[in-house]
């Protein structure tokens, strides 16, 4: 049942401004037709030499900005300023409850409140590992070989750690938004959220996602990693047993893997070339509610561009090899986004980690929001694009074959 938005925000404000009960608060998403100054804002209290402060971390598209406000008038001013921003979701955790607020199109609020089984104690340490979602000394990172036996991240694995951390932030926000908007059902211990990591390899994502969602967020989840190599399955299963992680690993191709029941969330990080298309096609087949895919190489469309005459007046874009490759990247992911929209998904294409950590830093996030589109603007736009360039996208072939 919806409530007046200002009344709900006033209630959340009282929780955020209470330094004795706030564990953490997060604002994210955007209300229809508006855009907040920040992509995401996090609140928590920290104990500094000058006393207790409200720490506000605001994220734009590339970095985080942290400010500490003394409890009292300064904290109230900071909170009131951000409550005025048109965020679509607020997640407020206290020592005894968790509140999820979703702003509707009518600018009303839907609130879901759950009581904690046991009260928790907030962390007030200002030096808390740079606000990482999972600390460097987490047993998962030690077991995966990213951190050494003392819990220090290995210098050679810093880029991988950064990728996992930023992916977890995006996964956290995406699942929170999908739960708040009803795109994902609320999981229970008897029927946990089903997540599949396709082409999981050494399962960095699988283990980190399970650890964060289950142990930090407290969500009942069941993860399955799929990889074509039996060695990966055996290695990952052994790690899972040692860590006490509730995850399955199966051997099989992305197209051939049989998962029953079907996953609700599909992950695919850096699946090579058309393996990303296979992951997206399986997600559509399973009617997955949320898909996060970070493509790797784009050889298929690049090869088609080399074989097909360039349409006028775009010869300058394909004459040079490096420009043709970049164009192939853009066309491939643009086509994927269009095809997912045609399938009834709301799609965002974003940078999920800075390019200095990996050159393959594009992320496609697709949320199932409706039925497939039969015709009209998005279908016409896609048809014109592939006809102009003479392309036969692999994802389109896979979707047609499984229709």
- pLDDT tens readout for residues 220-239: 899 999 999 999 999 999 98
Burial pattern 165-191, b for ≥16 Cβ within 10 A else e, equals: bbbbbbbbbbbbbbbbbebbeebeeee
Task: Summarize the confidence of residues 141-156 as an average pLDDT.
Answer: 86
What integer pLDDT is reported at residue 126 of this predicted model?
55
DSSP 331: H
Query: What is the pLDDT, as a whole number, of residue 357?
Result: 40
How far the first Cα of the chain sits from its last, in Å, is: 37
Q: What is the pLDDT of residue 293?
A: 93
The mean-pLDDT minimum among 5-19, 127-141, 149-163, 323-337 falls in: 127-141
Residue 140, number of CB atoms within 10 A of its CB: 23
Residue 358: pLDDT band with limits 50, 70, 90? very low
Q: What is the Cα–Cα distance from 246 to 263, expressed in whole angstroms?
A: 15
Mean pLDDT of the 297-308 span: 88
Question: Token digits for 287?
Answer: 């009617």
Mean pLDDT of the chain: 88
Residue 63: pLDDT band with limits 50, 70, 90: low
For 179-252, list the strands marked E by DSSP.
193-198, 221-227, 247-251
Q: Judge whether residue 402 has pLDDT over 80.
A: no
Average pLDDT in the 348-359 region? 63
Higher pLDDT, 318 or 127: 318
Determine the 3-state secondary structure of 109 from DSSP. Answer: strand
Exposure of 310 in the CB half-sphere (CA atoms within 13 A):
16
Q: Tens digits of per-residue pLDDT, 241-278?
A: 888 887 899 999 999 999 999 999 999 987 787 889 99
Is 241 within 8 Å of 235 (Cβ atoms)? no
Instruction: Spell out the alpha helix ranges (H) of 50-195.
Output: 73-83, 139-144, 158-180
C-alpha–C-alpha distance, residues 339 and 392, integer Å = 12
Per-residue pLDDT tens for 111-139? Answer: 999 888 888 888 776 555 556 788 888 88
| 355: confidence class by pLDDT, cuts 50, 70, 90 | very low
Pick the range with the lowest mean pLDDT from 3-7, 210-214, 288-292, 390-394.
210-214
């Amino acid at each position: 049942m919806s409530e007046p938005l200002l009344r709900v925000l006033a209630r959340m404000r009282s929780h955020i401004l209470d330094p004795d009960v706030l564990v953490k608060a997060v604002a994210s998403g955007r209300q229809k037709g508006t855009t907040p100054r920040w992509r995401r804002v996090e609140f928590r209290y920290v104990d500094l030499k000058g006393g207790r402060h409200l720490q506000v971390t605001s994220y734009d598209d590339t970095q985080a900005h942290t400010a500490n406000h003394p409890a009292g008038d300064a904290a109230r001013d900071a909170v009131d300023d951000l409550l005025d921003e048109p965020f679509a979701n607020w997640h407020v955790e206290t020592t005894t409850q968790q509140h999820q607020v979703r702003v509707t199109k009518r600018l009303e609020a839907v609130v879901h409140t759950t009581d904690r089984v046991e009260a928790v104690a907030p962390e007030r340490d200002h030096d808390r590992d740079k606000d990482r979602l999972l600390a460097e000394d987490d047993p998962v990172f030690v077991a995966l070989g990213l951190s050494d036996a003392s819990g220090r991240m290995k210098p050679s694995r810093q880029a991988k750690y950064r990728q996992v951390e930023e992916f977890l932030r995006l996964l956290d926000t995406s699942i929170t938004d999908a739960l708040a908007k009803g795109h994902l059902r609320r999981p229970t211990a008897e029927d946990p959220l089903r997540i599949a990591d396709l082409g999981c390899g050494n399962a960095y994502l699988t283990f980190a996602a399970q650890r964060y969602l289950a142990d930090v967020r407290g969500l009942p989840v069941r993860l399955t990693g799929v990889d074509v190599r039996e060695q990966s399955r055996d290695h990952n299963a052994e790690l899972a047993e040692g860590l006490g992680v509730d995850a399955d690993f199966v051997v099989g191709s992305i197209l051939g893997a049989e998962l029953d029941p079907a996953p609700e969330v599909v992950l695919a990080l850096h699946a090579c070339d058309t393996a990303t298309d296979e992951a997206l096609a399986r997600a559509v087949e399973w009617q997955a509610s949320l898909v996060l895919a970070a493509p790797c190489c784009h050889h298929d469309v690049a090869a088609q561009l080399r074989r097909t005459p360039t349409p006028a007046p775009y010869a300058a874009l394909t004459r040079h090899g490096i420009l043709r490759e970049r164009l192939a990247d853009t066309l491939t992911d643009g086509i994927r986004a269009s095809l997912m929209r045609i399938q009834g998904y709301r799609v965002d294409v974003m940078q999920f980690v800075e390019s200095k950590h990996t050159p393959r830093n594009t992320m496609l996030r697709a949320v199932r929001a409706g039925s497939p589109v039969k015709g009209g603007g998005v279908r016409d736009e896609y048809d014109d694009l592939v006809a102009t360039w003479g392309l036969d996208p692999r994802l389109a072939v896979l979707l047609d074959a499984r229709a």
